[in-house]
């Protein structure tokens, strides 16, 4: 805009006035709507958003959807390794942020499985002490879930006491669970999900767990030295049926054997850990029992007359059984491991290491093949995995008619089983890991009668070129994996 001023005795003076700032298209929006728009940018853009103006900064920290979760986890590219001063500055910045948004935080996470504790030798602050300071900022009436991968020291266990509405709690202790911490989780009336990672749980800890009859999910992972034994688990696991509302259950043991203990470990006697009766959980949908590593551990889970190292059901119809050391009846085993009323479209058997001689029926390693066929026929399996069982063949039977996926990988199959000609619904066949397998003209005849087969997984090095050409010609829609 130009303005002319008349000055007596002088020429008119021209002055330029700056035009008023054009209002932003967002300025007229209600705070609630503008905050939702800022939330679309995400917390990763906080530096850009908060630098625009004071109003945007205020709304960014005010929007609840941005701060329902608060993760106290240094990013992978964090410069914290540069020294104690940098690390303390990072924690201080996170503390200021949490103090500002605590009214919205429903899920709080401190650390992760890869970043559980700082190394005191590097001069880093003790995260166990830092953890108490952050817990003090959270609001008991708002927080619903806490994942504390950083250890909660006994002196600070009372920091959990105010959170009477806490529904989900994860605790991680590199040593045994302190009794002060146990006392706190047992006094959380709203707790429904409890996950514990510890060197081990004693009788008192297990008893405290069994008192939480309102739990719907329980996960326990212990990693104490194997020479400590399993006396507590052996006695307490079957009693878990006292938790009648459980929908998910996971028991994992990751034994740690130090080099100096190997001699003592080699002289140890093995043992068994009883698995609770799955029929005793009326609401159970998924579970896992796992002793790891599987190949050298001396202990086993015992289900009826069967010893095994892993079994799980994923809630969607997939039952996995691995490292079976003794097997009397596969049919009875599946019946015992399948939660009541749950379907079984997918059965995975891995590493059958031993079985009763009387259970062998035309199979060198997999026990009770006939029972397996009955299970398939009765329950309508669509996906069957029989990997790593030293199989040379599979028997014929009606169980093949409904199968859509069959995995016979890592066995001893040299020629295609003739029984496969009955698998007329098969869409995927996996034969990888059978080093002696080479397709022949008769094998092509078997495959060509499978109208829906689209994927064949196997090495083709041993198969003559003329046989492969014949297969391509007769089954042009077949793909190799």
Q: What is the mean pLDDT of each run of 10 residues along the chain (481 residues)?
A: 49 51 52 59 56 60 74 64 72 86 91 59 53 91 94 85 94 84 89 91 86 96 58 68 95 65 55 83 94 64 84 89 77 82 78 51 35 47 78 74 87 88 92 91 92 92 91 91 77
Residue 59, in any domain of the structure? yes
Residue 416, in any domain of the structure? yes
CA angle, 475 as apex, 469 and 477 as ends, to 5°? Answer: 115
Residue 148, in any domain of the structure? no
Return the pLDDT at 359: 37
Q: Is the peptide bond before 444 cis (omega within 30 degrees of 0)?
A: no
The structure's pTM equals 0.73
Residue 122, in any domain of the structure? no
Return the pLDDT at 146: 95
Q: What are the tokens at 13?
A: 């003076």
Domains contained in the chain, number: 2
CA angle, 74 as apex, 71 and 80 as ends, to 5°? Answer: 155
**Largest separation between any pair of C-alpha atoms in the chain:** 126
Q: Are the CB atoms for 264 and 226 separated by under 8 Å?
A: no
Distance CA 228, CA 456 (A): 47
Residue 461, in any domain of the structure? yes
Q: Are the CB atoms for 26 and 60 separated by under 8 Å?
A: no
Return the pLDDT at 116: 55
Which residue range forms the structural domain that includes residue 59? 22-66
Spatial neighbors of 231 by CB under 8 A, at least 6 apart, are: none
The CATH number given to whatever domain includes residue 461 is 3.80.10.10
Return the pLDDT at 461: 87
CA atoms within 13 A on the CB side of 268: 19
């Amino acid at each position: 805009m130009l303005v002319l001023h008349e000055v007596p005795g002088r020429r008119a003076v021209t002055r330029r006035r700056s035009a008023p700032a054009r209002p932003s298209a967002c300025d007229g929006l209600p705070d609630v709507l503008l905050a939702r728009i800022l939330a679309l940018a995400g917390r990763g853009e906080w530096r850009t958003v908060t630098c625009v103006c004071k109003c945007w900064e205020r709304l960014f920290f005010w929007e609840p959807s941005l701060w329902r979760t608060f993760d106290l986890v240094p990013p992978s590219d964090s410069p914290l390794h540069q020294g104690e001063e940098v690390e303390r500055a990072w924690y201080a910045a996170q503390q200021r942020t949490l103090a500002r948004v605590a009214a919205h935080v429903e899920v709080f996470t401190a650390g992760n499985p890869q970043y559980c504790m700082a190394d005191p030798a590097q001069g880093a602050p003790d995260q166990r002490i830092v953890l108490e300071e952050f817990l003090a900022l959270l609001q008991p009436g708002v927080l619903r879930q806490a994942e504390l991968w950083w250890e909660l020291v006994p002196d600070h266990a009372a920091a959990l006491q105010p959170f009477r509405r806490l529904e989900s709690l994860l605790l991680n202790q590199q040593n045994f669970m302190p009794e002060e911490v146990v006392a706190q989780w047992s006094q959380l009336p709203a707790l429904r999900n409890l996950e514990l990672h510890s060197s081990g749980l004693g009788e008192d800890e297990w008893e405290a767990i069994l008192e939480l009859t309102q739990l719907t999910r329980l996960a326990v992972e212990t990693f104490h030295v194997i020479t400590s034994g399993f006396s507590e688990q052996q006695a307490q696991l079957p009693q878990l049926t006292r938790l009648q509302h459980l929908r998910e259950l996971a028991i994992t043991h990751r034994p740690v054997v130090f080099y100096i203990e190997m001699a003592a470990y080699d002289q140890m006697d093995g043992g068994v850990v009883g698995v609770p009766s799955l029929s005793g959980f009326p609401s159970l949908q998924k579970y896992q029992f796992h002793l790891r590593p599987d190949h050298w551990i001396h202990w086993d889970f015992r289900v009826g007359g069967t010893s095994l190292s892993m079994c799980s059901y994923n809630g969607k119809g997939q039952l996995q059984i691995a490292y079976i050391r003794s097997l009397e009846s596969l049919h009875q085993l599946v019946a015992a491991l399948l939660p009541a009323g749950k379907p079984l479209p997918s059965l995975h058997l891995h590493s059958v290491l031993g079985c009763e001689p009387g259970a062998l029926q035309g199979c060198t390693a997999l026990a009770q093949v006939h029972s397996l066929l009955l299970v398939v026929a009765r329950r309508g399996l669509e996906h069957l995995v029989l990997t790593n069982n030293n199989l040379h063949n599979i028997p014929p039977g009606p169980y093949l008619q409904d199968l859509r996926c069959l995995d016979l990988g890592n066995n001893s199959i040299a020629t295609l089983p003739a029984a496969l000609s009955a698998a007329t619904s098969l869409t995927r066949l996996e034969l990888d890991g059978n080093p002696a397998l080479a397709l022949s003209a008769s094998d092509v005849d078997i495959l060509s009668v499978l109208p829906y087969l689209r994927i064949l997984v196997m090495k083709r090095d041993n198969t003559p070129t003329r046989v492969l050409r014949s297969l391509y010609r007769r089954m042009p829609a077949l793909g190799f994996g």
